Structure 1
Amino acid sequence: MFEFSEKSQKLQNKLLQFMDEYIYPNETIYKAQLNAAKNPFATTPLIKELKQKAKNTGLWNLFIPEEHSAYSPHGGLTFTDYAPLAEIMGRVIWCSEVFNCNAPDTGNMEVFMNFATKKQQEKWLNPLLNGEIHSSYAMTEPNVASSDATNIELSIEKDADEWVLNGHKWFITGAQHEDCKIFIVMGKSDANNPNRHKQQTQILVPKDTPGLKIMRSLTTLGYDDAPLGHAEVLFENVRVPLENVLLGEGRGFEIAQGRLAPGRMHHCMRLVGAAQRSLEITCQRASTRATFGRPLSKHQSVREDISKSFSEIEMARLLVLKTCYSIDNYGIKESINHITATKTTIPALVQNVIDKCIQIHGAGGLTEDYCLAEAFNYARYCRIADGPDQVHQMSLGKKIIDKYSSIQQG
């Protein structure tokens, strides 16, 4: 049985109370403000208010790991201790921003913590930690299969004392937000390098740089995911100083590998919370609706779906926690098989759980009146975000085959 530290338990209690007092009662108000906003990609008044409350309550930057405790008001948390907090936040899709724990900013902040110079950290990390700005991570491209990250084509060239970027990106989360100020852009600076993993470089590009153009907002299953959203972005002769390189030329793939693994885990942690809440409200629905002369909760098919969903959520939670334990004790590199297993299992499993919950809700489950449809969308796109399932499964399958095929059975 996993036991959380006293620090984590105290934060869980505070977070649960905050959710009861300020998040659940304001879900309708949040949607109303978002729908009424002249700019849907702007921070709503409610979020601004709740962010300040979260800061004052000590529920801020909860994602920061122990090794970066200097940046954390609570001294940083292990993956295991953060998991239940992310699960709680995952119960309401939009609320992680209230605690400055939303993607892509968390991953970008960790990039700045791990790979940026002091000057870069002062300019970009500090305002991100304070929740004053947002950021974007520009990697995926529309014209190549970005499931193979070495395919990316955006060109990065040196010209005197500047980098020049030309290329096309899409599904760039957070790019449209009015407070997005900085892009971390991955492209090719050495396309002919025989080592395909040394061809890429990551460059910091302020959003207001000439030549950086937001082309359009993209949707996922009809959701625009405002106020962060996902954008198509064009880079046309975008010029930034040479000092805007992260870590060094040719080290972009290395940064990407270090950034994406924690992000995959954070998504899975939140998805467990989305599934748990979906199950809870479905049980409430089944107990208050009747068909054919008896409550839904007394129909065998409904009970079977509830039973399966409960079991699947428990399995999902345990897989997340086992992987977190491995990361905390052995590191990301030694835990990559478990991270891959988690990333490819949890979104699909949660998607199926929420699908059963939608079915029990009937037509209402497809509407915005409940959290189910939006949570289903989140689970579905997580099967592609940070690398599609098939790529990870191909890699994990090879490793498992190599491991066990070499064992001689006695």
Structure 2
Amino acid sequence: MSEEFHRIRRLPPYVFAEVNKAKAAARARGADIIDLGMGNPDSPTPPHIVAKLVETVADPRSHRYSVSKGIPGLLKALAGYYARRFDVQLDPATEVVATLGSKEGLANLSAAITSPGDTILVPNPSYPIHQFGFIIAGASVRSIPARPDEDMLRALERAVRHSVPKPTALIVNFPSNPTAYVADLDFYRELVAFARREEIWILSDLAYAEIYFGDTPPPSILQVPGAKDVAVEFTSLSKTYSMAGWRMGFAAGNPRLINALTRIKSYLDYGAFTPIQVASVAALNGPQECVEQMRTLYRDRRDVLIRGLSAAGWNVPSPEGSMFAWAPIPERFVHLGSVGFAKLLMQEAGVAVAPGLGFGEYGEGFVRIGLVENTQRLRQATRNIRTFLNAHNGGPARTEVPADGTLADAS
């Protein structure tokens, strides 16, 4: 009875736990920690969405079990969003299902389509559920490059030739978490052609579709002709409407995959609370000025962060989309690794970031910085970081941070 359960054994120690422990210890000592580590929107949900929730929850009939697949009006609203935004036509009855956030949807579809020993292709680094949903389901994961370019396409071709068994599914996520990479429609065309030729499913995570900072909105893979033959796409209201805690997401696309996810969900849940689903209809069908306001908010925060870090001597690429900056660790701290650097930054600068290692082995050497504080706090964070970097300007930092979050001199 002392052995760990099989599926738990396949999960590595949670990398973020060390940083979270150090953060909790610092706050217990009264330290002011500017937390840029978690992608947790800090803005309130728009008032008209909250008002619809309050109105609906006042009706006792809405307190009963809901519908696992999603109420019809919500499925139609998501189809309407795809028609307006991407000029993609979806059948609400067969090509859309509501999920308890995109994370739950990805995990349940992984369980629905995976047999033990299957090979799945996942970008590395990537959001943890992209690989661990399949690992929990018994699959083996083969890493591919995360940037949407020729290197990824060549890696896909090699994976088909050299993986045993042949891969059954591919995960993509653009704008991506954590790297903030964005893909264009030409890249999706190549992916769809590859998947159709090799008979591989594509699971696209489009959770950050509305957080972009250029003139061209990120496309959907379903815009590619024939994509619905091989692809399903996950979206979420979490970031678009600051509804992260509401847990409202969707899957759309290939009817066979949608049916598989719907069947799995029918055994596991009764769907989101009906008032949340009704309020989500109000989000999708109601006034959309709040989405542009949200986009402007994140753009302003991005600019403050990137300018402030540059002034501090830390050159970080400016993200084109998502609510994150993917920051290479300054050279003099590389030897600490991403976990050690994140803990040191928190202890000495009072700024919490997410270590890149938590997103896969190829995330080592980076940290993810979330645009989840207001501009005043971001300016304070970059001032703190500037002081921190200046204090270590004499060469490689020789400070190591043990697991308990206290500092020790490594010399």
Interval containing the TM-score (normalised by the shorter chain): under 0.3
TM-score (normalised: structure 2): 0.24
- Indicate the structure whose relative CO is greater, using CA pairs within 8 Å and at least 6 residues apart: 2
Q: Higher helix proportion, which one?
A: 1
